[in-house]
Chain A
Amino acid sequence: MSTKVQTPAPQPPAASQAKATSLSNEEILRYSRHLIMPEVGMDGQLKLKNAKVLLIGTGGLGAPLGLYLAAAGVGRLGLVDFDVVDFTNLQRQVTFGSGDVGKPKTAAAQARLSNLNPDIHIETFETKLTSDNALDLFKDFDIIVDGTDNFPTRYLVNDACILLGKPNVYGSIFRFEGQATVFGMPTGPCYRCLYPEPPPPGLVPSCAEGGVLGVLPGIVGSIQAMETIKLILGAGDSLAGRLLLFDALAMKFRELKLRKNPSCPMCGEHRTINKLIDYYEFCGVRGEEAPGPDVQVPEITPRELKTRLDRGDDLYILDVREPHEYQISNISGHLIPLGELPRRVHELDSSREIVAHCRSGKRSAEAVDFLRQAGFRKILNLKGGILAWSDEVDPTVAKY
């Protein structure tokens, strides 16, 4: 069954709320490899069948999470995601297929997971998680798994879990590095104990800017699935109180101690945060889903640029991307990567009119801001970057 909602979760039918006390012969056969392990056995499999797990995010981390929790027989899985499948997701979001591009992620994931295990109850919430719906969405589930991709939502998930007393199985990734732990256990730390404040927007790149090795969320998400199953079974040592760090290139795992901060405003001895807040304001991205350009600079649209170039205007195109991006596609700009600009600014002639571009217009906005502060007066940012150039002027320029 799937439920498309924009508001808090409806109550599930009464039948599925009753605790299961037995397994059918078919279930016994399906889960036989669990059942023959004393660490699981019939009791453990019944715990899995009666467990209710909510996955926040059905993308890179959500893919292995959904697959392995469904395969393990978690009786009730909730999937929260407001996004649709994008072609660029297929490099890592392995629940989806090429035919799913354009479909809502929750629907596509639900189809895949139901095919893997038709016996479990999957609920979809094609909605953005907000301070208005989080508590209602979470309250009917036992364990929340955080597979989101932005700081405001991570703090929201954390706070909602602490307020409701639910464990939060945390995983995060960047390029080829991952982190995993379990927050929200009664005597354990929460996300705010680890990171009391988020980085200001723009200081840490997103995956679209930084890239990610596709298999990395496969590994970290699988670790999250493993931790979720261990919590349900009560088996092994949970990652609560430990931060697992994974470096995929070095193929090294390290572990750091995570302590509960006694003065944590959320889970410490004297709680000062008693309700969900405006997390976008907290993270300095008020009113936006993702950090927009941090600086306002003079702009030129791709069409305007094309018109001026065709007219013969003497414009110097400055490309502030990285060399490997230039190889993917370029508009014959002069390449000075953003990080090298301070050292190489003498290569630019401030008497010429310069148009700076990058992939989407964000890095080049920073470049224009930097150059204006350095005294350049004839400098414009190409709005939307090479992506917009491809869309509006020259589709033969590859988008990536």
Chain B
Amino acid sequence: MSVKVIIPTPLRVFADKRESTEVAAKTVGEALGQLTNEFGDLRKHLFTEDGKLRSFVNVYVNDEDIRYLSKENTPTKDGDTVSIVPSIAGGIC
């Protein structure tokens, strides 16, 4: 299943400045795995040392938060968009 993964601005520096990439994946977990295979530097920003998704990073399939679906087992189909949405704080600065 060809899935588009959108890379948020703060993480693009670790992904050759790419804003998105296409991966073949049947689940969100597979999609993120493909992403971190392609861009190894992303791994530590997305995952803790024991492989869990970091708590300040949210992942969506289309417009739904995977925490309310099946987390990393959420299935993905052709044309789906997986969005990575980290917390950002800029405002005054």
Chain A residues engaging chain B, CB cutoff 8 angstroms = 57-62, 81, 83, 146-151, 154, 171-177, 179, 194-199, 203-208, 210, 212, 217, 243, 245, 247, 250, 254-259, 261, 339
Contact between chains at B89 and A149 (CB < 8 Å): yes
Chain B residues engaging chain A, CB cutoff 8 angstroms = 8-10, 13-14, 19, 41, 45, 54-56, 58, 60, 63-65, 67-68, 83, 85-93
Contact between chains at A207 and B85 (CB < 8 Å): no
Q: Which residues of B contact A83 (CB under 8 A)?
A: 92
What's the nearest-Cβ distance from chain A to residue B2, in Å? Answer: 19
What's the nearest-Cβ distance from chain B to residue A172, in Å? Answer: 5
Contact between chains at B90 and A257 (CB < 8 Å): no
Closest to B87 in A: A195
Q: Which residues of A contact B54 (CB under 8 A)?
A: 199
Closest to B41 in A: A339
CB contact under 8 A between A149 and B63, given known A210-B10, A256-B83: no
Contact between chains at A256 and B65 (CB < 8 Å): yes
Using A149-B89, A179-B88, A206-B90 as known contacts, list a sample of 14 further A-B pairs with CB atoms less than 8 Å apart, ordered by residue number in A. Answer: A61-B91, A149-B90, A154-B89, A171-B91, A173-B91, A174-B10, A194-B58, A204-B89, A210-B10, A210-B90, A254-B63, A256-B60, A256-B83, A257-B63
B9, B58, B68 interface centre (most CB from chain A within 10 Å) = B9
Residue contacts A-B, CB under 8 angstroms, 23 given: A62-B92, A81-B92, A147-B92, A149-B89, A149-B92, A151-B87, A172-B87, A172-B91, A174-B10, A179-B88, A195-B58, A198-B56, A206-B89, A206-B90, A207-B90, A207-B93, A212-B93, A256-B63, A256-B65, A256-B83, A257-B63, A339-B13, A339-B41
Q: Which residues of B contact A207 (CB under 8 A)?
A: 90, 93
Q: Which residues of A contact B67 (CB under 8 A)?
A: 261
Contact between chains at B55 and A195 (CB < 8 Å): yes
